Amino acid sequence: MRDREKTNAIGRREFVRLAGLASAGVAVTPAGGLEPLLALQQSSAPGPDAGEKELVLRAIDAAKSAGAAYADARITRLTSEFVSTREQQLTGVNRGERYGIGIRALVGGSWGFAATRDLTNDAVTRTAREAVAIGAANDKVNPVKTPLAPVKKVADGRWITPHEVDPFTVSAEQKADLLFKTNASALRVKGVQFVSSSVSSVKESKLLATTDGSLIQQTFLRMLANVDVTAVSGDNSDSQTRNASIPPMGRGWEYVVGLDMPESASRWAEEAVLKLSAPKVEPGLWDLVLHPSHLWLTIHESIGHSTELDRARGYEANYAGTTFVGPPEKALNNLRFGKELMNVNGNRTEPGALATVGWDDEAVPGRSWRIIDKGLFVNYQTTRELVGWISDLTHDRESHGCAYAEGWWAIPFPRMPNVSLMPNSKDVSEEEVIAETKHGIFIEGDGSYSIDQQRYNFQFGGQAFWEIKDGKRFRMLRDVAYQSRTLDFWNSMALVGGQKTYALGGTFSDGKGQPSQSSSVSHGCPVALFRNINVLRTA
């Protein structure tokens, strides 16, 4: 328990640092308090490499001469590093680089896309023509119209993730050292047999040129640390793992250092051991108090994905699915998602969040907008191709800036922005939220997760489950999962914590599309209370 309090204190310090960058968590308006910060970053962010600039301009020129009505070209250099350990052994050090160009062309109303790793003048020209030929071949078989929403030209856009230490200036040895210290701390706890841990660092340089005249150079940094602690019972008949559920962030190495993983590891270890002997949950109706390290994923699956406009249009029907939030003319300003206390923003602007950008992959500036206002569904997530479909209903003429491709080899398409649940305007603490239930479970960390293809029925596990009895945390429980329907669940939200309980969670690997692409996204939220949710026992 002592370790836990310390960790909380660190968590809050981290939060204050984040909040200090801008008004994290508060309703960020489209023209909110971020512009001075962005201006500062833009002035110091690197501009385009001269050779790359020539190639992207060559690509869009070639596409245009070959008959494209619109084209964009992206040169991306994705540098990644993965350092992994188990116990006191190194299990892998890998550094990777993928560099190339992707060209997208609109011919008639059909998209063609071609990409190559070959960054020579001839190959780029040939690839641009191939993108046009693919668009033309599809338009011939199946002619369609594809109007694109207007966007302001950005002649020299520059953006870089705010950070203190570039993770690629820190040696693999230093990273492994931090992991070994973390593992050692966990292994000191009696009953713990195994620990695995890793640090992933990503640096993505992206140069975008469009036939609308935009040229934008952006550099993104992303960090992900992971720790799994496993305790095995004396006779090998049972084993339990506590995953640390550390939020990945769009920040530098200073973020990972600031986590103080060696300190927190003893708590994760104690909880792994505790899980072996904890009583199994009694299935039935329970109140749930969900910590941000858990709740971000429920938001992601049930609100983030259900409010994507391409899903409402059926574009993802063959894999990710459609959505119950539709059709737009029936759902917008009409669908009650939750009670008055529920406010949800979509944004590409929240500091430290993984989907935060200067501009999206169609040169649309990062924005913030309301998706759910006082419990009412008011807007979707859009791109230049999609927004026109609902402009008359939302009066939005411009894209929300949700176009994204995972790299040069991939086609940009609608991807989730940061979708965040706003905190209580009153200063409600975690203890005060817990005090509101007599029979509840406090859940920390993300575990198993599954939701249907229209985002109605979901089931979520977690990492640590604490029984709440008469307003106080009482003891650990195990094998907990809750199952609910999206609208039932959000309408049962009875209390949200204040800004001091607000934190970001997120993932490096949100999969969507065919071919499936991975995107990085964050979700901010306060601790929140849900009434009478169906709890299952998973073992």
Distance of closest approach, residue 537 Cβ to another protein, in angstroms: 10
Residue among 315 and 508 whose Cβ is closer to another protein: 315
The one-character DSSP state at 301 is: I
User: How distant, in Å, are the alpha carbons of 43, 57, 158, 222 from that of 215?
Assistant: 15, 9, 9, 23
Per CB under 8 A, which of residues 236..255 are in contact with another protein? 236-239, 241
- Quick one: CA dihedral 485, 486, 487, 490, positive or negative? positive
Per CB under 8 A, which of residues 263..302 are in contact with another protein? none
Per CB under 8 A, which of residues 344..383 are in contact with another protein? none
C-alpha–C-alpha distance, residues 372 and 430, integer Å: 23
User: How distant, in Å, are the alpha carbons of 24, 131, 252 from that of 265?
Assistant: 27, 50, 21
State yes or no: residue 508 binds another protein (CB under 8 A): no
Distance of closest approach, residue 144 Cβ to another protein, in angstroms: 5
At residue 490's C-alpha, the angle toward residues 488 and 494, to 5°, is: 110
State yes or no: residue 488 binds another protein (CB under 8 A): no
Asked if 63 contacts 105 with a C-beta cutoff of 8 angstroms, the reply is yes
Here's the x/- map for another protein, 149-188, by CB under 8 A: it reads as: ----------------------xxx--xx--x--------
Residue among 22 and 78 whose Cβ is closer to another protein: 78
C-alpha–C-alpha distance, residues 481 and 485, integer Å: 14
Per CB under 8 A, which of residues 17..56 are in contact with another protein? none
State yes or no: residue 453 binds another protein (CB under 8 A): yes
Asked if 124 contacts 57 with a C-beta cutoff of 8 angstroms, the reply is no
Distance of closest approach, residue 303 Cβ to another protein, in angstroms: 16
The one-character DSSP state at 176 is: H
State yes or no: residue 100 binds another protein (CB under 8 A): yes
State yes or no: residue 532 binds another protein (CB under 8 A): no
Per CB under 8 A, which of residues 418..447 are in contact with another protein? none
Residue among 401 and 462 whose Cβ is closer to another protein: 462
Here's the x/- map for another protein, 55-84, by CB under 8 A: it reads as: ------------------------------
Residue among 167 and 423 whose Cβ is closer to another protein: 167
How many residues belong to the site for another protein (CB under 8 A)?
87
Long-range contacts, stretch 394-398, CB < 8 angstroms, 24+ apart: 394/332, 396/369, 397/149, 397/150, 398/149, 398/150, 398/151, 398/364
* Residue 107 structure tokens: 């011919």
Interface pick for another protein out of 10, 485, 518, 531 (rule CB under 8 A): 485
C-alpha–C-alpha distance, residues 229 and 270, integer Å: 9
Asked if 440 contacts 494 with a C-beta cutoff of 8 angstroms, the reply is no
- Quick one: CA dihedral 483, 485, 486, 487, positive or negative? negative
Residue among 102 and 292 whose Cβ is closer to another protein: 102
Per CB under 8 A, which of residues 210..239 are in contact with another protein? 230, 232-233, 235-239
The upper half-sphere exposure of residue 218, i.e. CA atoms within 13 Å in the direction of its Cβ, equals: 25
Distance of closest approach, residue 340 Cβ to another protein, in angstroms: 25
State yes or no: residue 7 binds another protein (CB under 8 A): no
Here's the x/- map for another protein, 386-415, by CB under 8 A: it reads as: -----------------------xxx-x--
Distance of closest approach, residue 228 Cβ to another protein, in angstroms: 11
Interface pick for another protein out of 72, 130, 406, 444 (rule CB under 8 A): 130
User: Of the listed pieces 114-122, 153-161, 350-358, 468-476, which binds another protein according to CB under 8 A?
Assistant: 114-122
Distance of closest approach, residue 432 Cβ to another protein, in angstroms: 32
Residue among 131 and 441 whose Cβ is closer to another protein: 131
φ/ψ bin of 370: left (φ > 0), alpha (ψ from -120 to 50), beta (otherwise): beta
Per CB under 8 A, which of residues 313..332 are in contact with another protein? 313-319, 321-322, 324
Buried b (16+ CB within 10 A) or exposed e, 30-50: eeeebeeebeebbeebeebee
User: How distant, in Å, are the alpha carbons of 7, 41, 301, 380, 417 from that of 249?
Assistant: 18, 18, 19, 24, 14
State yes or no: residue 113 binds another protein (CB under 8 A): yes
State yes or no: residue 121 binds another protein (CB under 8 A): no
φ/ψ bin of 279: left (φ > 0), alpha (ψ from -120 to 50), beta (otherwise): beta
* Residue 120 structure tokens: 């020579």
Distance of closest approach, residue 360 Cβ to another protein, in angstroms: 17
Interface pick for another protein out of 95, 153, 339, 426 (rule CB under 8 A): 95
